[in-house]
Amino acid sequence: MEAYEWGHVLHRVLEHLQSDHDLEYVREHLLKMALASVGLTSQEARVFAWEKLGAEIVTYMNSDLHKECCQGKRIYSEMPFAVRLFEDVQERGTLSLNGVIDKVWLRADGKATVVDFKTHKYKSATQVKRIVEKYTPQLQLYAYAVEKLLHWRVDRAGLYMTATGSYMEVPCDLQARENLWKKMQILWTKADSRSEEKEKRLFS
């Protein structure tokens, strides 16, 4: 398979993993389901996929992040969403945000954590920094969507890097999100007014 297909399979397994799933269930059911989503159904495919992805799956299963997720009062996996950000700005229509959040859960303290899985294979600290910077706005907007739709206060958001089993938090405080919001408003008001499209989409 192509690299993006392996990433898709790994995403599917981690997103559906629950606290009562052991390794046998993961191999025989979750991995089977994930491979079927890319058209692979043979036993040979499952054996090969486990040899390639098993270590990363086990690392996540043993991680503090997964343990915290399993203790969540409410948990959503692959949560699709669509929210409106700006409306009727200089008659440019509506700016909408839509996507799918890998994991979000409500903790015992009443606040929420948002996590996005990344299957990038990076080799240096510089690459890691670029990945975090690239996806920080996305995670901040995910936090906004969760608060808007589920009415949960999100105070933690981050990227779980499957290649190294590391979790990297991004700034998710209200000030950081307010700064992003201001930048987006500036870009939106400068959008091409000649566009016939009445609805713009971000992170679709």
Is 3 a residue whose pLDDT tops 90? no
DSSP string, 46-61: HHHHHHHHHHHHHHHH
What pLDDT score does 46 carry? 93
Going by pLDDT thresholds of 50, 70 and 90, the confidence category of residue 99 is very high
pLDDT computed for residue 198 by the predictor: 45
Q: DSSP for 3-27?
A: HHHHHHHHHHHHHH--TT--HHHII
The pLDDT confidence band at residue 4, using thresholds 50, 70 and 90, is: confident
Mean pLDDT computed over 141-162: 94
148's tokens? 């808007």
Does 90 score more than 70 pLDDT? no
In Å, how far are 30, 42, 54, 119 from 1, measured between CA atoms? 18, 14, 16, 15
pLDDT of residue 152: 96
For all residues of the chain together, what is the average pLDDT? 86
The pLDDT value given to residue 203: 46
Q: Residue 26, Cα to own-chain centre: how many angstroms?
A: 20
Sign of CA pseudo-dihedral 21, 27, 33, 35:
positive
Q: Tens digits of per-residue pLDDT, 154-199?
A: 999 999 999 889 999 998 888 888 888 888 877 776 665 444 444 4
Report which of residues 124 and 70 the model is more confident about.
Answer: 70
